[in-house]
Chains A and B, each alone.
Chain A
Amino acid sequence: EVQLVESGGGLVQPGRSLKLSCVASGFTFSNYGMNWIRQAPGKGLEWVAYISSGSSYIYYAETVKGRFTISRDNAKNTLYLQMTSLRSEDTALYYCARAYTPDYWGQGVMVTVSS
Chain B
Amino acid sequence: IQLTQSPSLLSASVGDRVTLSCKGSQNINNYLAWYQQKLGEAPKLLIYNTNSLQTGIPSRFSGSGSGTDYTLTISSLQPEDVATYFCYQYNNGLTFGSGTKLEIK
Contacts and interface: CB of A to CB of B under 8 A. Distances in A.
A101 B88 contact: yes
Interface in B68-101: 84, 86, 88, 90, 93-99
B39 to A, nearest CB: 11
A105 B45 CA distance: 9
Contact of B45 (A102, A106, A108): A102
Contact of A101 (B86, B90, B95): B90
7 contacts: A44-B84, A44-B98, A45-B35, A59-B93, A59-B94, A95-B43, A103-B45
Interface of A: 35, 37, 44-47, 50, 59, 95, 100-103, 105-108
Interface of B: 33, 35, 37, 42-45, 48-49, 54, 84, 86, 88, 90, 93-99
B42 A105 contact: yes
A103 B54 CA distance: 9
Contact of B95 (A47, A105, A107, A108): A47
Contact of A50 (B94, B98, B99): B94
B96 A101 contact: no
A44 B45 contact: no
Contacts of A50: 94
B43 A45 contact: yes
B91 to A, nearest CB: 11
Nearest to A100: B90
Contact of A107 (B42, B44, B88, B94): B42
A105 to B, nearest CB: 4
A33 to B, nearest CB: 11
Contacts of B35: 45
